[in-house]
Amino acid sequence: MLIRLSIFLKKLKNTDMKFKGLGVAVITPFTKSLDVDIVAFENIIHQLISNGADYLVLLGTTAETPTLSPAEKRQMLSSAIKINAGKKPVVAGIGGNNTLKIIEEIKSFDFTGIDGILSVVPYYNKPNQKGIYNHFKTIAEACPVPIILYNIPGRTGVNMTAETTLKLANDFKNIQGVKEASGNLDQIMEIIKNKPENFAVISGDDNLTLPLIALGADGVISVIGNAFPDKLSKMISIFPSHPDKAALIHYELMDFIKYLFVEGNPAGIKGLMSLMGYCEKTVRPPLYELSDDVIHKFLELLQS
């Protein structure tokens, strides 16, 4: 039993993973006239690189990607890659509910400066587990860079089970992680317990980051990290040696996270970052900007 435990702990401590620690799901700042604010975006990229982000995740949910034009997506990727200059791994969101269309996108995509993709479980169609497996199998066979699976049943309407995740992780070497936002601790623990050595289990929920790291997860792809990359990075890095101090940071951030999603993502994080001087609180329709009530809550927290 002790030998098995030792092997398990050694597997959890693997440091060769590319997608480990703090990944930030980067927002897309807009001007009040709903144009992409590229100056604000570039400033955000600079501060994330300088303040503890381990990798950048672009064109995900938090980026309001469905509202972006192809030209806007290219502009943001190009700007981020240029500023990053190879300092941190860069992940691009490439996913959807039309498998063949995703393959076409992958074949025409310029992967220069891109270290991986984040690909969501197909939404709306509600495929069964065989359909989910074959969807990601097809992507894995076509994709030239590592893949992070993204399980978020609250948005997609279907859950990718631990069994499906583990089968994909074992069958395809370029499937190198999962962003788990199911909120199902039993499911996530099963993945952590039985995953291959170099497969990253990544929290997709800011409020569960520290609990999941304590259980053996490899980090987070974070929303709150846009505003507080330094705090979140410190929390993750000091946990092994100072779990009590990490817990203090966790509870400090929880005060913000409490209000971050009450009116939807990324309205919450944009409202918070507008108070911090990073961008406007503008979101594109059909989303709606954060209310004054929640803005006031954030302002009180920032001033406390």
Tens-digit pLDDT profile for residues 10-30: 445 555 678 999 999 999 999
Please tell me whether residue 221 adopts helix, strand or coil conformation.
Answer: strand
**For residues 273-281, average pLDDT:** 98
Provide the residue count of the chain: 304
Which member of 20, 73, 88, 179 is catalytic?
A: 179
Work out the mean pLDDT of the chain and round it to a whole number.
Answer: 95
Average pLDDT over residues 248-261: 96
When pLDDT is averaged across residues 54-77 and rounded to a whole number, the result is 97
- At residue 6 the predicted structure's pLDDT band, cuts being 50, 70 and 90, is very low
Buried b or exposed e, range 172-204, using 16+ CB within 10 angstroms = beebbbbbbbbeeeebbbbbbeebeeebbbbbb
Strand ranges, E, within the chain: 21-25, 55-58, 90-93, 116-120, 147-151, 175-180, 200-203, 219-222
Candidate list 133, 150, 259, 278, residue with the active-site label: 150
**Token pair for residue 257?**
């996270």
Residue 235's Cβ-side half-sphere holds a number of Cα atoms within 13 Å equal to: 31
List pLDDT tens digits, range 156-213: 999 999 999 999 999 999 999 999 999 999 999 999 999 999 999 999 999 999 999 9
Distance CA 301, CA 136 (A): 42
Percent of the chain residues past pLDDT 90, beyond the cut: 94
For residue 160, give the amino acid letter. Answer: M
Q: Give yes or no for residue 2 having a pLDDT over 70.
A: no
- Which listed CATH number (3.10.250.10, 3.60.15.10, 3.40.50.300, 3.20.20.70) goes with 17-241? 3.20.20.70
Nearest residue to 209 via CA among 167, 249, 166: 249
Residue 79 has pLDDT above 60, yes or no: yes
Domain boundaries, the chain: 17-241
**Mean pLDDT, to the nearest integer, of 132-156?**
98
Residue type, 100: L
Active-site residue, 179 included: yes
278 is catalytic: no
pLDDT value for 18 = 87
Contact partners, residue 178, CB within 8 Å, separation at least 6? 148, 149, 150, 151, 165, 169, 191, 199, 200, 201, 202
